[in-house]
Amino acid sequence: MPEGTYQFTQEFFPDQVTFCHLNIGIDGISLYFLMLTTLIMPISILSNWENISPSFSNSSNDYLRGGPTRIRAAFLLFLYTLFGSLFILLAFVVIYYNVGSTDFQIISLSDINFDSQKILFLAIFISIAVKTPLVPFNTWLTYAHSEAPVGGSIVLAGVILKLATYGFIRIMLQFLPDACSYYSPLVQMFAIISVIYASLSTLRQTDFKKLVAYSSVSHVAVVVLGLFSNTIQGIEGAIILSLAHGLVSPALFFLVGGVLYDRYHTRTIRYYRGLVAYIPVFALFFFVFTIFNAAVPLSANWVGETLCLIGTFQRNPLAGVLGATGIVLSAAYSIWLYNRLTFGSSMSFDINRREYIILLPLLILSIVLGIYPNVVLNDIHSSVSSLIYT
Amino acid sequence: MGGGMEAHKNRWIEDWSTARENLEHNFRWTRRNLALVGIFGVAVPVLIYKGIIKEFHMQDEDAGRPYRKFWLA
């Protein structure tokens, strides 16, 4: 079988329907995102167990109920996504009109002319930049995270943000390579601005869910830097960092939005102190995931971030250095948050069995990927090589 | 979960927390804000963009090839 092609392909409605034809399959790039989604979905349901369990006596909540300004957050999410998706839909229609198919392999083999690629890139970039999110399209994310229930935050951080990464790889790098080179300084500029501005915004947050949301913006911007470095290290690092972020960020949202918010019903950091004395197991998990979020060595985040920045530095040292400032800022806000929440004096119930079971697979996978990233890198190497060199 | 452990909301902490979250209600186009938007919203991104392109062009010069074409460059 040729390297970098799709496996486990499935064809739907080949004979019954004439106007559409659906083929699905997996390759090295999509495999791990699929596995991440499969892991995150039951975790997000279990994380909201108190709200959906039949024995829970408080009738005011259901799985989808959010915070008091959820209408505004929903409007922002809807309008931003709708605005971006309009352009990407038009772009897909143009691609279909030019190529005659929407099959990935057929489009990647066809030659879209450079001027068309430039316009298609801008149209698709707007949509994917909203979902990534990159500054200045990131406003919806912080509202969505702070108002969503913990299950919603976990799905948003663990799955939906990775759709943007996957969109960059699958659509832009694969179908529009010339336009990607032409616009790479522009995308790198947006990514660097996102890293620095989002990190600085994170430092001044008073709501811990918004803090973790802003830190997500900063980390996914490093992913974008790696993707547009046009190096194998950069793209593989971007995939690893996406996967790592998809493990660590849901865990952080669960710890702050699930464990702490379930007990204290407030997200304001000022109310919290001294958690290490009374809920030490929570403090341990929180410490581990906080330092993983700050990309400490032996974490999967470190592997991904290092590879992304190495790839970026190889192509453009200035972009690499500016992107690396996010490491310092990330350490600053992570340590500040951990210090503020866990030291001092307070009282609470520690992690229970359900919460322990939710956190343990995320912790083990983050450590395994950090110590032995070849588990993923070996499998994605052939797909990423064929993406760059074909 | 959380029975009896809810944080006792403190009016001053709530006011302090809200005061930092109300930019969209209280933003005004003053000279200071205009300057900040101009610097951090326009000047810094433009400088970073020009710097990245200059870096690419310096690599092209060192390699002895014509400058690569980028958007607005």
pLDDT at position A25 over 90: no
pTM, two decimal places: 0.86
Residues of B whose CB is below 8 A from A258: none
The whole-chain average pLDDT of chain A stands at 87
Residue bearing tokens 């009109």: A97
Is residue A192 packed enough to be buried (19+ CB in 10 Å), middle (13-18) or exposed (0-12)? buried
More confident residue, A322 or A53: A322
Region B3-12 average pLDDT = 72
Range of the domain at A58: 2-385
Measured at the CA of A147, the angle between CA A257 and CA A159, to 5 degrees, comes to 70
The helix (H) or strand (E) run that includes residue A25 is strand A22-26
* Nearest CB to A189; choose among B6, B21, B48: B48
More confident residue, A349 or A106: A106
- What pLDDT, in 10s, does the model give residues A253-265? 999 988 888 888 8
Note whether A326 and A240 are within 8 A (CB).
Answer: no
pLDDT of residue A307: 95
- Those residues with Cβ within 8 angstroms of residue A173's Cβ, 6 or more apart along the chain or in another chain: A180, A227, A235, A387, A388
CA distance A343 to A369: 30
Residue A390 belongs to some domain of the structure = no
Region A12-22 average pLDDT = 71
pLDDT of residue A158: 92
Q: Please give the residue of chain B at the shortest CA–CA distance from A187.
A: B49
For chain B, list residues whose CB is within 8 angstroms of any CB belonging to chain A.
1-2, 5-7, 9-10, 13-14, 16-17, 20-21, 40-41, 44-45, 48-49, 51-53, 55-56, 68-71, 73
- Those residues with Cβ within 8 angstroms of residue A275's Cβ, 6 or more apart along the chain or in another chain: A260, A282, A283, A286, A341, A342, A346, A348
Q: Is A114 on the interface with B (CB under 8 A)?
A: no
Three-class secondary structure of residue A113 per DSSP:
coil
pLDDT at position A101 over 90: no
Region A384-390 average pLDDT = 79
- Cβ distance B2 to A317 less than 8 Å, yes or no, reads no
Residue bearing tokens 């989002």: A198
CA distance A194 to A137: 10
Work out the percent of chain A whose per-residue pLDDT is above 70. 91
Distance from CA of B3 to the nearest CA of A (A): 7
- What pLDDT, in 10s, does the model give residues A195-248? 999 999 998 888 888 899 999 999 999 999 999 999 999 999 999 999 999 999
Is residue A175 packed enough to be buried (19+ CB in 10 Å), middle (13-18) or exposed (0-12)? buried
- What pLDDT, in 10s, does the model give residues B14-23? 777 777 777 7
CA distance A174 to A387: 6
Within a 10 A sphere around the Cβ of A71, how many other Cβ atoms? 10
CA distance A312 to A306: 10
Residue A77 belongs to some domain of the structure = yes
- Cβ distance B48 to A271 less than 8 Å, yes or no, reads no
Q: Is A202 on the interface with B (CB under 8 A)?
A: no
- What pLDDT, in 10s, does the model give residues A295-323? 999 899 999 999 999 999 999 999 999 99
Query: Interhelix angle for A300-315 vs A232-253, to 10°?
Result: 140
pLDDT of residue A18: 66
Most confidently predicted of A149-153, A204-208, A243-247, A373-377: A243-247
- Cβ distance A189 to B70 less than 8 Å, yes or no, reads no
Q: Which residues pair with A29 in a beta bridge?
A: none
Measured at the CA of A140, the angle between CA B43 and CA B30, to 5 degrees, comes to 45
Query: What are the sequence ranges of the domains in chain B?
Result: 45-72
CA distance A347 to A274: 8
How does residue A110 score in pLDDT terms, banded at 50, 70 and 90?
Answer: confident
Note whether A366 and A292 are within 8 A (CB).
Answer: yes
**CA distance to A173, A190, A270, A272, per residue, from A134 (Å):** 18, 7, 29, 31
pLDDT of residue A1: 40
CA distance B55 to A331: 28
Counting the structural domains of chain A, the total is 1
